[in-house]
Amino acid sequence: MDGDATATPRLRGVEAIQQALQTMPLSSGVYRMIGEKGEVLYVGKARILKRRVTSYTQLGKLPERLRRMVSETVAMEIVTTHTEAEALLLEANYIKRMKPRFNILLRDDKSYPWIMMSDGDVFPQIAKHRGKLVKGASYWGPFASAWAVNQTLNLLQRVFLLRSCSDAVFNARTRPCLLFQIKRCSAPCVGRIDQADYAHLVEQARAFLSGQRNGLRDELVREMEEAAASLAFERAATIRDRIRGFAAMQDSSVINPASLEDADIVAIAQVAGQSCIQVFFIRGGRNNGNRAFFPLHARDEAPGEVLGAFLSQFYDDKPPPAQILLNCEIAEHDLMADALGIKRGRKVEILVPQRGEKRAVVEHAETNAREAMERKMAESTAQAKLLDGVAELFGLDAAPRRIEIYDNSHIMGANAYGVMVVAGPEGFDRRSYRKFAIRGPITPGDDFAMMREVLERRFSRALREREAEGGSADWPDIVLIDGGAGQYSAVRAILDELGVSDVTLVAIAKGPDRDAGREWFHVADRPAFQLPPRDPVLYYLQRLRDESHRFAISTHRAGRSKALVKSELDEIPGVGAARKRALLNQFGSARGVRQAGLAELEATPGINRETARVVYGHFHPGWSGA
């Protein structure tokens, strides 16, 4: 009987696939398996769609994971492409966007920093950039972390003395800033360097970042000697400092093989069915840092399969380099190289080096991957023990999968925000953090009313999802709040009104002496209690509470800063978005506008004489306008 019950949904899945096969073409493309709720179960690509999809109807030849996928399939969707390489790129894009649970998934929600240089400015700016690359600028990267790009920027400033300030700040300067004083900028904002000399610095910086560094040090030495010979000792000293910065830049890389100019070193290590992939970025012959990734996949996936899926998704939103060095072969090696070549616009070479310097750097990356995997497993074990301790402390049947921590932040009720922080088996889940701008109306300082609004907004949505879908993926096991018995009772009443009865509520309070480490805990059907001062579970709960404090305060400060800038300029009659932008571009900030003289305001592009007088009068109420 059990076998028949299992076979029935699988046969239904086969029937759905067979129905889709009736109109499926013999061309290249991407197919999607669709579940009962419309969710995408799996995304695949094929050179010949019909032949590939037909294999899913032969259940006896499929592994159990794919048989389960077939049993949940109710429909299929396809997109045809001209070539299999295009299908591979489209498949990677779909997987990253749709996150189908039967695919190997790259869990990478972070953007990568780049070094950006503006192209159209008379005095180009060099700065850190995150997000989408846009026209009108040149980019170098990516870098593995903010630390790596900041370190490189600091060295670039020492060597090439290019400005890093925004256009608004640059245009508003009347005297050199601190960066000029510490020899990190040539101060083009106030004419300390002419356009031709600055353009020469830009040319040198571009050459260096592009890997064309041969002869650059010799050129600097020659310039220093010429300056000294002409008795321009101050200029010679400046060039000497640039040479020292250049030497520091050349010596700052950990992995920097002479045979690599533009390459990514990618190595995978597997331990107990889990994978870590380590990527080192080499650009222009310089090491831009490394990052570890932990893709989500079935325990029986081979390293080559995981690595191949990783490469296609990893380069979906970033240009691949000329070379990619791997520590193991991947399936469809040539197809992957062709697809990444399309992405780059030039040839991409994928190598698995067996000897020499390239093999050494790949082995180094593999060692890093294995060590990172071992650290993560040790951290996961420690995290699991802490969650088991939390479950035992609060009487849960199992370790909590999701803990939500709530807090508010405001100043006398102004710029009030509530926040939700989320933690679980993987630690803090920052992608699930939420901010709630308090809408009110609320009496200033009424923390209970703020908490009510936050919880109503959060759980009303979750309850709707639960009712519509028969469950909610982000339903918490524990709700943790900062406060004592009063806060606990108020929040408990709010949750009861909403019909949220299957969530454990915990209030944590420092007590009357405000002594961290002697917190009191309030839960249902139990007197308030304390934990031993050195209890690991106590430290863990304190960390959760402190993270919610940090997030609430940073959210409030950001909102307050935005409100301050907005209120000062938006309250001026006749100053709309365009004129506000013109003023900020000219003076850099609302404070700069407030301090500007009438003549400076009248000289601002986009601001006529009448508007300038209105702005000046707004900030100088006693001014008669004469």
pLDDT digits over 383-402, tens only? 899 999 999 999 999 999 99
Structure tokens at 235: 């200029």
pLDDT in the model for residue 3:
45
Rounded to an integer, the average pLDDT of 484-493 is 90
The sign of the dihedral angle between the CA atoms of 366, 368, 369, 370 is positive
pLDDT in the model for residue 534:
81
Choose the weakest-confidence range: 127-131, 218-222, 278-282. 218-222
Match 């709010």 to its residue by tokens: 494
Query: Left (φ > 0), alpha (ψ -120 to 50) or beta: where does 268 sit?
Result: beta
pLDDT in the model for residue 4:
46
Give the Cα separation of 276 and 373 in Å (integer): 6
Rounded to an integer, the average pLDDT of 36-46 is 92
Count other C-beta atoms under 10 Å from residue 215's C-beta. Answer: 10
Structure tokens at 239: 């060039």
Q: Do the strands 126-129 and 137-140 form a parallel or antiparallel pair, or are they unpaired?
A: unpaired
The 3-state secondary structure of 99-152, one letter per residue: CCCCCCECCCCCCCCEEEEECCCCCCCEEEECCCCCCCEEEECCCCCHHHHHHH
Helix ranges restricted to H, 395-484: 447-469
- Confidence class of residue 252 from pLDDT cuts 50, 70 and 90? very low
pLDDT in the model for residue 247:
60
pLDDT in the model for residue 433:
93
Q: Give rounded-to-5 percent helix, strand, coil for the chain.
A: 50, 20, 35
Task: Find out whether 107 and 376 touch, Cβ atoms under 8 Å.
Answer: no
Q: Is 410 a residue whose pLDDT tops 80?
A: no
pLDDT in the model for residue 512:
60
305 three-state secondary structure:
helix
pLDDT, tens digit, 9 for 90 and up, residues 49-93: 999 999 999 888 888 889 999 999 999 999 999 999 999 999 999
Question: What distance lies between CA 455 and its chain's CA centroid?
Answer: 27
Give the Cα separation of 299 and 271 in Å (integer): 10
Structure tokens at 481: 């709040």
pLDDT, tens digit, 9 for 90 and up, residues 295-335: 999 888 999 999 999 999 999 988 899 999 999 999 899 99
Q: Is 285 a residue whose pLDDT tops 90?
A: no
Domains of the chain: 13-103 (3.40.1440.10), 113-249 (no CATH), 263-374 (3.30.420.340), 403-563 (3.30.420.340), 568-619 (1.10.150.20)
pLDDT, tens digit, 9 for 90 and up, residues 542-567: 999 999 999 988 887 777 666 655 65
Rounded to an integer, the average pLDDT of 572-585 is 82
Most distant CA pair in the chain, distance: 99
Q: Kindly state the percentage of the chain with pLDDT values over 70.
A: 88
- Confidence class of residue 620 from pLDDT cuts 50, 70 and 90? confident
pLDDT in the model for residue 441:
75
Q: Is 258 a residue whose pLDDT tops 70?
A: no
Choose the weakest-confidence range: 156-165, 219-228, 491-500. 219-228
pLDDT, tens digit, 9 for 90 and up, residues 437-475: 887 777 766 788 888 889 998 988 888 776 665 556 688
**Looking at per-residue confidence, does 536 or 568 come out higher?**
536
Gyration radius of the chain's alpha carbons: 30
pLDDT in the model for residue 81:
94
User: Mean pLDDT in the chain?
Assistant: 85
Task: Find out whether 317 and 130 touch, Cβ atoms under 8 Å.
Answer: no
Residue 598, judged by CB atoms within 10 A of its CB (0-12, 13-18, 19+), counts as: middle
Rounded to an integer, the average pLDDT of 109-113 is 78
* Phi, psi torsion values for 350, nearest 5 degrees: -105, 120
